[in-house]
Structure 1
Amino acid sequence: MDGVFAVSRGSSPVILSFPHTSVEVPPEIWERLNDNGRLLADTDWHLHRLYEGLLPDATTVRAGFHRYVVDANRDPAGVSLYPGQNTTTLVPMTDFDGNAIWKDCQAPDEAEIMARRDAFHRPYHEALAAEIERVRAIHGIAVLYDCHSIRSLIPFLFEGRLPDFNIGTDGGVTCDPALEAVVVSAAEQAEGYTHVLNGRFRGGWTTRHYGHPQENVHAIQMELAQVNYLASETVPFDYDPAGAERLRAPLKTLLERVERTALELKRQED
């Protein structure tokens, strides 16, 4: 994938965003990553493939840079999403296991972090904001569904095994209760899977920044446990077609319900 972002425009009120699926790292940055960093282990591996075609009319916005370049789901001001808990920063210094990703003395300084923010983070979010406005202009409502995945076992970030569906609405702040309810209901009805609402992952900066239900912009983050669609959560992080196909069925149901509910909310308002 080339470029800072890629947009595929659709006619649905739903926008799917993918901030962490790219493995693209500019050569001058790649040279400064250590062997651990070059594993790119914290990628949302194959997530765009998992969601492909599930809601055909949805708009998609996908970042074209790896999160080690700059994390598109972190506050551009550098404020922690989860004060007092282990997490990674706007430009990560460690991986999700707390291990260094940069060669000695080659981690970016504050000036470089701000330059990366301006070169990558800002254009991605300008594109995402433009699509939200376009969709809202068409339907009078927009739903940003922020797509994420993560390894199911990461002691540095959370205890035990992560639930399969991790729904984040920042405590119900970022979307209408009806949208939160249909997402939770779909997860509850997904046989063989576990779920949690506003658990360890309550929604990142993207969800919190754009989710303003009073302005008819709703945002929901979905963090999926990778164990359900990867053959292995370690190198080489291969896609598991059979596991993915099982997971795609409840995800499709979930997204279709989100779309219908969004349109119904607008009809009720009118």
Structure 2
Amino acid sequence: MKAFDIKSGQGVIVLGVPHSGTYLPPDIYANLLPQARTLADTDWHADRLYADLLPDVTLVRANFHRYVIDANRDPGGSRLYEGANTTDLVPKTDFDGNAIWSEAPGHTDIESRLVSWHHPYHAALAGELGRVHQKHGLAVLVDCHSIRSRIPFLFEGVLPDVNLGTNLGTSCDERIAATAVNACRNGGDYTFVRDGRFRGGWTTRHYGRPGKGVHAIQIELAQSNYLESECAPFEYDSAKAERLRSHLRGILRAIEDATTEMGQSHE
């Protein structure tokens, strides 16, 4: 199994999809505890949700499951959210705080998974961002995520429908962030928040360098808005999903338009 798939476009936006993959090598899958084998923490169908929303968008998708190694965590192992429950580079627990492994992976296992899975995905993502930046003079990474709307171990209450993450305004130009917020505000009755519980993972923080013309924003979606149910088998609800896709298309178009204007202002 290849670590990633790429669909290259000619536009300014690169979509990263790090958590929709479900592949686990047989030896890793065999080490999962029975409950973990439901893979409940997957960003179910996120790649399908974003597919073909805009012409000429680039998409880089990780094919491996986040239990193999989390493509949205620091390869150095630093924690993502200090003072809050979170999961690690190779998670020890699931989102509900339950153990995942019969035998927890050791340092050698983690290093091997970095080389085989994490590094190739990010090499592909960095390569596409570089290509787009060279073509346009700037690039925008939209890191695409989804999660169950109720997870007491991670957050209180019900998650807003759309969660924009800009790492407190440091990962992208404010014009891009404000445009995304306005698109959420004007795009219907979906609830939203900027830099709430999820303000951008390692990917957003690592690649977002607005001063160098690379902007990054994370979109975390509540799965209640496009799944039939937030429990196994996590089936895609086409009617709900098409309504959400229309909203996402509006957000991406707004980001694309804002970025085009930024590029023209520097010509």
TM tier, shorter chain?
Answer: over 0.9
Residues 82-137 of structure 1: CA distance to partner in whole angstroms, max 9, x if unpaired? 0111000000111000001111xx11012211211121101100110000000000
After TM superposition, list the pairs within 5 Å mapping 1:14-33 onto structure 2.
14-33=13-32
Q: Where do 4+ consecutive residues of structure 1 move more than 6 Å?
A: none
In the alignment, structure 1 residue 126 sits paired with structure 2 residue 127: no
Residue 264 of structure 1 corresponds to 261
Contact 1:74–1:90, Cα closer than 8 Å, also in 2: yes
Residue 80 of structure 1 corresponds to 79
User: TM-score when scaled to structure 1?
Assistant: 0.98
Shift of 1:140: 0.4
After TM superposition, list the pairs within 5 Å mapping 1:128-143 onto structure 2.
128-143=125-140
Residue 167 of structure 2 corresponds to 170
Q: Distance in 2 between matches of 1:27 and 1:251?
A: 35
Residue 195 of structure 2 corresponds to 198
AA in 1 matched with 2:41: D
Contact 1:15–1:61, Cα closer than 8 Å, also in 2: yes
Q: Distance in 2 between matches of 1:215 and 1:36?
A: 44
Q: Distance in 2 between matches of 1:144 and 1:156?
A: 29
Shift of 1:145: 0.2
Residue 231 of structure 1 corresponds to 228
AA in 1 matched with 2:3: V
Q: Distance in 2 between matches of 1:95 and 1:43?
A: 10
Shift of 1:190: 2.4
Give 5+ residue unaligned stretches, structure 2.
Answer: none
Classify the secondary structure of the residue corresponding to 2:34.
coil
Residue 48 of structure 2 corresponds to 49
AA in 2 matched with 1:67: R
Residue 249 of structure 2 corresponds to 252
Residue 219 of structure 2 corresponds to 222
Contact 1:36–1:100, Cα closer than 8 Å, also in 2: no
User: Bigger CA drift: 2-11 or 148-157?
Assistant: 2-11
Residues 232-270 of structure 1: CA distance to partner in whole angstroms, max 9, x if unpaired? 000010001110011111110111111111111011112
After TM superposition, list the pairs within 5 Å mapping 1:3-22 onto structure 2.
3-22=2-21
Give me the identity figure in percent: 55
In the alignment, structure 1 residue 113 sits paired with structure 2 residue 145: no
Contact 1:95–1:101, Cα closer than 8 Å, also in 2: yes
Residues 54-77 of structure 1: CA distance to partner in whole angstroms, max 9, x if unpaired? 012100000010000000000001
Q: Distance in 2 between matches of 1:207 and 1:101?
A: 26
User: TM-score when scaled to structure 2?
Assistant: 0.99
Task: Give the number of aligned pairs.
Answer: 267
Residues 146-173 of structure 1: CA distance to partner in whole angstroms, max 9, x if unpaired? 0000000000000000000000000000
Residues 195-225 of structure 1: CA distance to partner in whole angstroms, max 9, x if unpaired? 0000000000000000000000000000000
Give 5+ residue unaligned stretches, structure 1.
Answer: none
Contact 2:187–2:250, Cα closer than 8 Å, also in 1: no
Residue 66 of structure 1 corresponds to 65
Alignment equivalent of 2:184, drawn from 183, 187, 197:
187
Q: Distance in 1 between matches of 2:265 and 2:38?
A: 49
